[in-house]
Amino acid sequence: MAAILVKFLAPLAPYLAAAFLFMAGAVYVGHLRHEVASARMANALLQQTNQANVAAIAAYQLQSVRWNTALDTLGVHTLANGRALNIIDDHIAAQPPAADAPVAPVLAQALTEIGKLQGGAP
């Protein structure tokens, strides 16, 4: 029986091999199409992530500019307050010892100057 099958299938062997190769190629092409579709979905997801990252970086850069501006403004105010405090300290140091009393006039003057610094009434 096997000999009869071999006798009939022998002439068909090249066609069977070609059919097998065609089927294997079709399966491989299907696999490649699946991989390409998967890669495209991954690429789309990565592009969305990249766009979100670009937007976040832009927001962080804007926030950094705002913080630097606020720090510069604070530095200017701190420098001005430091100069004013140095003037007050110099006035206190320049007073004669007779100006010291239980409630020293120099203290009243210093408090008045601090009030001006803070925007209060003289």
**pLDDT score for 108:** 80
Q: Are 105 and 94 in contact (CB under 8 A)?
A: no
**pLDDT tens for each residue of the chain, 122 residues long:** 788 888 888 888 899 999 999 999 999 999 999 999 999 999 999 999 999 999 999 999 999 999 999 999 999 988 888 888 888 888 888 888 877 776 677 888 888 888 888 876 55
Question: Considering the entire predicted model, what is its pTM?
Answer: 0.50
What angle do helix axes 13-94 and 105-117 make, rounded to 10 degrees? 150
DSSP 8-state secondary structure symbol assigned to residue 119:
T
Rounded distance between C-alpha atoms, residue 38 and residue 46, angstroms: 12
Planar angle of CA 29, 33, 34, nearest 5 degrees: 120
**pLDDT score for 121:** 53
